[in-house]
Structure 1
Amino acid sequence: MIRTNRIQRLTLPIFSPLIAIVSALIVGAILILLAGANPVTAYTTLFQESLSTYFGFGNTLTKMAPLLLTSLGVLVALRAGQFNIGGEGQIYLGALGSTLVGLYVQGLPGIIHVPLALLAGFLFGAVWGWIPGYLKAIRGVNEVITTLLLNYIAVNLVSYLVQNPLQAPDAPSPYSPLIAKSAQLPIVLPGSLAHAGILLALVAAGILWVLLVRSPVGYQITAVGFNPIASRYAGISVERTIILVMALAGGLAGLAGASEVMGLKYRLFEQVSPGYGFDAIAIAFLSRGSVLGVVITSLFFGALRSGANVMQRSAGVPVTVVYAIQGLTVLFIAIGLAVERRIKGSD
């Protein structure tokens, strides 16, 4: 019995997300059938286009980059027991910061301009994460409420700026002028949309793994997440840790916004993100606190987004089915967590 329980504890965190994804795809197949299409053809088109073709895989990597960076931000906050629902707003602020440097800092070589614009994106996002972190640590304000409300402020702030002081001359819709070429991220797969933002995201994932698993700071973050009261008795500053992780979470999401501007759009649009900040919440929970899990799940969600339009054109399946699959994946992982908690409680 003891051995069986131990096997369950080791295998559940591995198979639970996999079961959730497979279950979501099965229910999605039913939805595709109801839409009058062939699920096999639809899924073959979806994943073949997004993973096995050159341009499609490049597009998948392009969508994976902001998802991965923002999900890492949600993950690091979760490790400290904090819920960062503000990834969307932090993306917008990061995009704004990199745009300002790309527009108004001129005459720099790319080797300096690119890191400077990325740093601005990180700092703008970090400030937007620091605010709810400070309010939670010092004032006791719930971070779910503050991060959620700050999303609306960030979105409307960017909307105002691109419609007024930052709007490009004679622009048919709200967007800024092009940023300097020296502030643009290079393409990593020629002939595709894949840019160096994906390399930035993977490097960030590696650094975060080292921080969380191999450093004293990571131990403090995990300790605060498990038991803040015991952590305080052990001499760990709970307040400082909360502020740190929320600022870091915001900075990572800010890098996601910066990479969208610097690697893909080259200007600030009114709609910077198509909802990456909210997808990141699902990815972080689906990944069960694992940095590697975040990388893999971000690839899965990126592939879904990349192949959705092609699936609609080729198989006649509405794009909304893809969003339904994402939502079902979250639902099934929530059910899996509840079942796992029930099993552990019965040990």
Structure 2
Amino acid sequence: MTTEAADPIDAAAIAPAADAGFLQRHGAEIEYILIPGAALVAALVLFGIFVALFGKNPLDLYWYMYYGAFGTWFSWQNTLSRAAPLILTALCTALPAQLGMVIIGGEGALLIGALAATSAALALQGLPPLVVQVAMVISGMTGGGLWILLSGGLRQYRGVNETISSLLLVYIALAILNHLVEGAMRDPASLNKPSTREIGAANMIGSIPGTDVHWGLVFGLVLAIASYVLIYHTTFGFAARVAGGNIRAAKIVGLSVGKLILTVCFLAGACAGLAGMVEVAAVQGRTNANLAVGYGFTGILVAFLARQNPLAIIPVAILLGGINASGGLLQRRLGLPDASVMVLQGIIFISVLASDALYGRIGFLKGKS
């Protein structure tokens, strides 16, 4: 009998994980899943300890979080409805990140988009619903896009840090919303909570047939996929990533960095503005202070967890949407404040930021130099 040595190439094909170089070749891709996942698990453990200090069973906490987010079809629908604006506001952070910019003003763009969409609907009352809805989409995206464009313009032409300017613009947007809702746009019938007039039931965008999930989820999925294609499969996206990697080199090779910054900022703001339009046309039916619930800020966490990848934003937004959706159940069953999920989100954000130091430092995942 003769024993033939196994072909190493065939062996690697049969069991790639056994290939000594497999982890090194795919180390970067594995890190993008392993490290954020570990950060999320660490945050859940820390939150469980935090809850245990108040005499609650962490295992009960995890069960109710799961059940409130994904345990029933009703929970799933609630989660997906909450994930829709998170996808859109996360894109507001993820797209400028391709250029090395840190935009955290999605909440402001959402509010301005909501105001613009509501204004369009109220101005076009009496026209066919489809016309009004299209006008709301265009107005919301334009309003949000121009709002984030302000940060891009300040960065490009005045050297103002876009992180600071976009954050400050959130408070300006909130002041504008309160001023208009309590003043020129206020519905006289809204006594306890100042609001604009209703856009009309006919102008609401409704739900996906057979579900209670509004069409905003479809908008988010389409824009996330379109953003991925734009960034990774077009010359525009390649130019943006080159500029994000080395802006000086991008200028040397003749790329119009200023145009890239302004265009990407407008597109990013348009996504968040569409989230505002969706909240008005699918949930609230009018503009009021209920719109400022923090979707824009949670979108920042979604984008960071997804490593600014538009496709990865989708599952992460669903996960964070589920955590938000479970807040009510935690309050009823464990007696925790409804805002306790905000504490968890804060812990997750800190864990994700701390985990950034691990990229490229895990020994068995280091690529070949």
Task: Determine if the alignment matches structure 1 residue 316 to structure 2 residue 335.
Answer: yes
Flag the 1:308–1:82 CA change in 2: closer, same or farther, 3 A.
same
Cα deviation 1:105-156 (Å, max 9, x = unaligned): 1222222221210110000001101111111112222111211111111100
Q: How does 1:1-347 map to 2 (within 5 A)?
A: 5-172=24-191, 173-188=193-208, 192=212, 194-342=213-361
**CA–CA distance in 2 between the matches of 1:316 and 1:190?**
34
The higher radius of gyration belongs to 2
69-78 vs 46-55, which moves further: 46-55
Q: CA contact under 8 A between 1:113 and 1:182: conserved in structure 2? A: no
Unaligned runs of 5+ in 2: 1-19
Out of 215-224 and 176-185, give the one that drifted further: 176-185
Q: Quick one: structure 1 residues 206 and 117, their matched pair in 2 at CA, closer, same or farther if it must change by over 3 Å?
A: same
User: How far apart in 1 are the matches of 2:171 and 2:367?
Assistant: 39
Could you tell me whether the CA contact under 8 Å between 2:69 and 2:79 is conserved in 1? yes
CA 189–313 in structure 1, closer or farther in 2 if over 3 Å, else same: farther
Q: What displacement does 1:98 show?
A: 0.6
TM superposition score normalised by structure 2: 0.89
Q: Which runs of no fewer than 5 residues in structure 1 stay unpaired?
A: none
Distance in 2 (CA, whole Å) between partners of 1:291 and 1:4 is 24
1:177 partner letter = R
CA contact (8 A) 1:185 1:195 kept: yes
Query: 1:55–1:191: 8 Å Cα contact kept in structure 2?
Result: no
Task: Quote the Cα distance in structure 2 between the aligned partners of 1:53 and 1:244.
Answer: 41
Distance change (3 Å), C-alpha of 1:111 and 1:170: closer
Q: Residues of 1 paired with 2:201 and 2:261: CA distance?
A: 38
Displacement, 1:45? Answer: 1.6
Residue 9 (structure 2) aligns with? none
Native 8 Å contact 1:311 1:317 kept in 2: yes
Instruction: State the TM-score, normalized to the length of structure 1.
Output: 0.94
Distance 1:196 1:7, change over 3 A: closer
Shift of 1:49: 2.2
Conserved 8 A contact 1:37-1:317: no
The count of residues paired between Structure 1 and Structure 2 equals 346
Deviates more, 1:197-206 or 1:139-148: 139-148
Is residue 87–residue 253 contact of structure 1 (8 Å, CA) maintained in 2?
A: yes
> Aligned partners of 2:331, 2:252: CA distance in 1, in Å?
57
On the 8 A contact 2:306/2:313 being kept in 1, the answer is yes
